[in-house]
């Protein structure tokens, strides 16, 4: 079943986070991820508001988790850890 990678982010260091974004996109694409939403307009109805929201579609939960654990994505993530506050989850779709 396909899966969605959903990230909610508050950027605290734009320069360092820019390096993350530069590396994360290719890492996600390498593992079959396709962006559905990247930033853009949103309406926060519940929970903590994060100004940046990203959704990527993968072939499966396992593919999304493998991407997250890949050396390429972990290298990207090393730039985001101290440059943002984030929540990230992977959820299987009902397609």
Domain CATH number, residue 43: 3.30.70.100
pLDDT tens for 18-65 read 999 999 999 999 999 999 999 889 999 999 999 999 999 999 999 999
Domain span at residue 72 reads 3-92
Predicted pLDDT of residue 95: 75
Predicted pLDDT of residue 25: 95
Largest CA distance in the chain: 38
The number of distinct structural domains making up the chain is 1
Residue 11 has pLDDT above 90, yes or no: yes
Q: Contact at 8 Å (CB) between 56 and 3?
A: no
- The residues pairing with 11 across neighbouring beta strands, listed in sequence order, are 84
The pTM (predicted TM-score) of the whole model is: 0.90
């Amino acid at each position: 079943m396909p899966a969605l990678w959903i990230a909610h982010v508050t950027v605290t260091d734009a320069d360092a986070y820019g390096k993350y974004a530069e590396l994360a996109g290719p890492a996600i694409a390498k593992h079959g991820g396709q962006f559905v939403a990247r930033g853009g307009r949103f309406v926060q109805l519940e929970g903590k508001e994060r100004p940046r929201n990203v959704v990527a579609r993968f072939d499966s939960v396992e593919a999304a988790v493998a991407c997250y654990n890949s050396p390429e994505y972990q290298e990207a993530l090393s730039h985001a850890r101290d440059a943002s506050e984030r929540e990230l989850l992977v959820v299987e779709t009902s397609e």
